[in-house]
Structures are given as C-alpha cells and as structure tokens.
C-alpha cells in the first residue's frame, strides 16, 4: 500500500464507519477491516496507525473477539476505543471488570493536557460514554491521562510503545472535542501528512481507469442519483465515448427528472459518452396494475428495471466492463468490509443483471463515503443540484403512492411534490431539512370547492431533519409555509382536496411513506 492509511480494526461497534469518516475528514485515508484479519495482512499494508473499535462484548471473557498481542509490539501507533481500549488493557496485563456504575451519555471527563492525544483539548471536556465494563487497573507501563468520577481510567497511554486507550467515543459528535482528539492521534502520534484529498482522488482514479480499460467498452446503468451520476462522469472523463450509459425512465421519477438527467448526460450535455434513454413508463405501470402491497411493488419495480436494462445491454452486445455506483457504506453494510452484522444485501453489491455480457465490474466509488462522493462530484464539475440531490428510493414514486400505482396518481404526486419543494426552497429551508417530499395517501374524502361536493385524495407532506438517516425528527415547518403549500396544492393539483403533514419521527415511523 503506497497511500498513507490508518486502519480501523472492527470489533463490532456501532459507530465504526464514523471512525473511518472522521479520520478521512482529517485528510488521512482510512479503511475498515474485521478483527479476524490476519496480522501478516495488516503488516503488509504498512498502516500509519491502527484504531481498535468499540464492541458489544466483554473484553475479559474467554470467547470475546480478540487479537494477537503481537500487534502491540510492531511500533505502529494504536488507539483503542471503548471495547478496543478494554481489550488492549486486558491483553497487556491490566484489569477489565463490570463497572460498579455504568456510564451512558454525555459525561464530563478530566483530561491531562500534557498527553499528545489531548493537545489543545480543554481540561474538562464533554465526552460520549457507553459502557458497562470499565478498566479497573491499567496495564503495566501505562499512564492514566483522563478520568471521571465513576471511571478511574477514561484514557491511558504508553508513549514508548505508542499505545493509547480511550473509554469514551471520540468519533460521535456528542464528544465535543472528539475531532481534535482523533486529529491529534493521526497527526501528532501517527505523524500522518494528510494527503488524502478529493482532487487527487479524482485525478488518480481517472488515470487508473484509463490504464485498466484501455480500448475496452464500458456500460453503466444511470439512475440520475448522486452515486451513478458521479461514477458515470468519472468514467466519461477517463474513457470518453467508450462509455455507454443506459438511463431507464420507469415513470416513477420526480417531476421533470427524466428530462433533467437527459439534459446533463444526453447529446446536448457537456459529456462525451453514448446516452440511451429508455422510456419504459408504460411497462412499469402495466406490471404494477392492481398491486398494493409495498414490498411487492418494490420487487416488481426492481426486477423490471433489470429486465429493461438487460434488453438494452443485449442490443449493445458484449462489453468489457460494467460500472456500478457502489460506495463504501454499501461495502461495509454488506459485511465485506468490517465486522458489523450484515444489515442488508445491498442492490449495488451482488444484485447484478444476469444477461449482460461483460468481463469485469468497475466500482470507481467503492472506497468513498457519501459526502466524499459529493465532493468528487463537485470536483468533476457536475451541477450542484445533481450533486446535492436528496436521497431518492430506487422504486421512486412507486412507494410514495399508497396502494395501487397508476399513471394518474404518479402525476398527482409529482405535481404536489414539485410545489412542496418549491415552497421549501422559497422559504430558504432546503439546506436545513434532511429530506422532504409529498406522498399520495390512498384516502379519499369529501370536500367542497366552488360550492360543489368533491370526493378526492389527500396528499401527505413529509419533511424530516436528520444527520445520518438512521434516526430522524419531523421538521417543525413554519405554519405559513404549510398554509401556502396547502393552498397551492389544493388549487393547482387536480383530484386533491386535502393536505396532511406527517408529524411522526423515525422511529417509530420510517422516512419514506409507503
């Protein structure tokens, strides 16, 4: 490995992706590996530093995840976090026990500012704790450099061996000076130079893709979403018209979205590539006729998408490479990177069309987090409205229509959604709100318009604030914005006579409304 890298050794903690993200925010490249990874493999990677993550187990138990003690004598700086800290102490002769008082939440920690880890950190600093066990005795050779009233060893270090242990979690934002602590680790202790930057990533990738592809033909399924758009532009910059992009318009996109994608990637757009738009709207509507169950709708849309793509691929014939917009969280969540449980079998990893004749897959964004993909997109000159596009589900509006999907209902929800987005933007709220959209409830009710009885649909408006999309709160939209949006929707969108606002958080709701 030539690139300066810090390795995260995953012991099953919840925040492991966050650790890697924070390290990369320091401009140091970081990858996650399972604790089952061989020491020889790790040595061969020559990491600048290693971070042991937290985890659900008890370090002193026989069958808990562990690692060979040899790793501590390589001279590579190691930072143990929570379980990782406890394991380090346990393996090196300290003592880990059930804590008399478990700590959970924000806790004031007193740190020794002389420690390289706490350089420029306040002596009393709020940190996030989440542990049942604690280090009751530090291992020989270690100095205690932080404590709380209930936690005698909140941090310990053995400078001569470059080993550091933290009971709290510097990677979560609740640890007020956590970023500084991680930055101290990578810069002061691992002595990294910080050369991981997006412009160099883009340049290196273009070069590497060119080397690899040569004169070969490349095929990409373009959805118009952030990941596939960035992947497509990267490829087009590398190999130009050797790239063909197939864009399947399934008729479940937001208002004007199909044309927007075409404007950017089509013949009128700035990129040199072959663009094929398949207008498959009616195929999808036919397949969805009479189907009301959300999981079934998702499945039908996913399968039909692959069929349409395959048919196009057959027309194109054999290609050398197929591009996938896989990103790093997909890799980790599919259980390929770290140790955390397989959360979902991701559509980007493994769910390949059967009949596409290709030699190899290219996943140019495989090592990037979402915010890094966006940065790469900006670096590549992709328009901001595409780069900062909200997450949009693959099955599109198909799952924002409760009950049966029809062309008419798609149009209703498209119009209402466009108005909602316009009003949110006009109120200047679009940057604050994580995600917002309109959904069509399957409810019809009586209303009155122009003295006439109506019997029409209710639109549900959704807007949530979230930092990570794992949890979310319903956004407190000012009343006048809701009022104006409601008036416009009822007046401008046919077959809608009522507008509802969804006040549910996640949990217990989900962000999508299906």
Length of the chain in terms of residues written: 514
DSSP per-residue letters across 39-72:
HHHHHHH--SEEEE---SS-TTSTTS----GGGG
What's the Rg (C-alpha) of the chain?
26
Rounded to the nearest 10 degrees, how much is the dihedral formed by the CA atoms of 167, 172, 176, 180? 80
Which residues in 127-166 contact ligand GLN (CB under 6 A)? 130-133
Query: Does 170 engage in binding with ligand GLN (CB under 6 A)?
Result: no
Please state, in angstroms and as integers, the Cα–Cα distance from residue 294 to each residue in 9, 290, 400, 485, following that order: 38, 12, 9, 27
Binding status of residue 55 toward ligand GLN by CB under 6 A: yes
Query: Judged by CB under 6 A, which of 10, 13, 138, 436 binds ligand GLN?
Result: 13
Of 57, 136, 390, 411, the one binding ligand GLN by CB under 6 A: 57
Q: Judged by CB, which is closer to ligand GLN: 19, or 23?
A: 19
Give least dist CB 100 to ligand GLN, A.
Answer: 13
442 binds ligand GLN (CB under 6 A): no
Site for ligand GLN in 61-100 (CB under 6 A): 82-83
| Catalytic residue check, 171 | yes
Contact 479, 463 (CB under 8 A): no
Cβ neighbours for 487, distance < 8 A, ≥ 6 positions apart: none
- By beta-carbon proximity to ligand GLN, the closer residue of 58 and 242 is 58
Closest CB to ligand GLN: residue number: 54
CA–CA distance, 105 with 356 (Å, rounded to integer) = 50
Is 54 a binder of ligand GLN (CB under 6 A)? yes
C-beta of 293: minimal distance to ligand GLN in Å? 39
**Residue with Cβ nearer ligand GLN (130 or 348):** 130
Helices (H), 357-478: 370-379, 384-387, 407-426
Q: What would the two tokens of residue 57 be?
A: 């187990």
Catalytic residue among 4, 138, 157, 171: 171
Residue 131 annotated in active site? no
Closer to ligand GLN by Cβ: residue 130 or 175: 130
Active-site residue, from 26, 30, 82, 245:
82
Compute how many other C-beta atoms are within 10 angstroms of the C-beta atom of residue 43. 13
Q: How far apart are CA 225 and CA 307, in angstroms?
A: 20
Shortest Cβ distance from residue 96 to ligand GLN (Å)? Answer: 8
The count of residues interacting with ligand GLN (CB under 6 A) is 12
What is the H or E stretch that residue 131 is in?
Answer: strand 124-137
For residue 299, what is the DSSP state? H
- By CB under 6 A, residue 224 contacts ligand GLN: no
Closer to ligand GLN at the Cβ: 132 or 193? Answer: 132
- Interface with ligand GLN by CB under 6 A: which range of 51-59, 237-245, 270-278, 344-352? 51-59
Binding site for ligand GLN (CB under 6 A): 13, 54-58, 82-83, 130-133
Report the catalytic residues: 82, 169, 171
């Amino acid at each position: 490995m030539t690139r300066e890298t810090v390795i995260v050794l995953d012991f099953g903690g919840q925040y492991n992706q966050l650790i890697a993200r924070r390290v990369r925010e320091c401009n140091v490249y970081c990858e996650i590996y399972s604790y089952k990874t061989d020491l020889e493999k790790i040595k061969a990677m020559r990491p600048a530093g290693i971070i042991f993550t937290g985890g659900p187990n008890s370090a002193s138990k026989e069958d808990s995840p562990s690692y060979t003690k040899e790793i501590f004598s390589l001279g590579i700086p190691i930072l143990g976090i929570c379980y990782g800290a406890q394991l380090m102490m346990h393996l090196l002769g300290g003592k880990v026990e059930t804590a008399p008082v478990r700590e959970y939440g924000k806790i004031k920690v007193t740190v020794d500012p002389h420690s390289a880890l706490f350089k420029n950190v306040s002596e009393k600093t709020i940190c996030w704790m989440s542990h049942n066990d604690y280090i009751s005795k530090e291992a020989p050779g270690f100095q205690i450099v932080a404590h709380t009233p209930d936690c005698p060893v909140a941090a310990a270090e053995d400078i001569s061996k470059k080993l550091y242990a933290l009971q709290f979690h510097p990677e979560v934002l609740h640890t007020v000076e956590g970023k500084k602590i991680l930055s101290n680790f990578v810069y002061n202790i691992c002595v990294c130079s910080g050369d991981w930057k997006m412009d160099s990533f883009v340049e290196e990738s273009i070069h590497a893709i060119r080397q690899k592809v040569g004169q070969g033909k490349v095929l990409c399924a373009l959805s118009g979403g952030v990941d596939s758009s960035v992947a497509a532009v990267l490829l087009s910059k590398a190999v130009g018209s050797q790239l063909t992009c197939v864009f399947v318009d399934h008729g479940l996109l937001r208002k004007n979205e199909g044309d927007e994608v075409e404007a950017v990637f089509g013949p009128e757009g700035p990129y040199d590539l072959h663009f094929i738009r398949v207008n498959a709207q009616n195929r999808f509507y036919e397949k969805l006729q009479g189907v009301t169950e959300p999981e079934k709708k998702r499945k039908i849309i996913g399968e039909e998408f692959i069929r349409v793509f395959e048919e196009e691929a057959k027309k194109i014939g054999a290609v050398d490479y197929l591009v996938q917009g896989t990103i790093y969280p997909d890799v980790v969540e599919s259980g390929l990177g770290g140790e955390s449980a397989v959360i979902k079998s991701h559509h980007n990893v493994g769910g390949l069309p059967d009949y596409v004749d290709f030699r190899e897959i290219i996943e140019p964004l495989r090592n990037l987090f979402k915010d890094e993909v966006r940065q790469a997109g900006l670096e590549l000159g992709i328009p901001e409205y595409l780069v900062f596009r909200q997450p949009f589900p693959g099955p599109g509006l198909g799952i924002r229509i409760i009950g049966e999907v029809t062309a008419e209902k798609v149009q209703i929800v498209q119009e209402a959604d466009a108005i909602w987005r316009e009003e949110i933007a006009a109120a200047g709220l679009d940057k604050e709100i994580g995600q917002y959209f309109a959904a069509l409830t399957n409810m019809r009710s009586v209303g009155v318009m122009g003295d006439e009885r109506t019997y029409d649909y209710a639109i549900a408006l959704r807007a949530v604030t979230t930092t990570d999309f794992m949890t979310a709160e319903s956004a407190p939209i000012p009343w006048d914005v809701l009022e104006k949006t409601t008036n416009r929707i009822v007046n401008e969108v046919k077959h809608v006579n009522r507008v509802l606002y969804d006040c549910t958080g996640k949990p217990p709701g989900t962000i999508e409304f299906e």
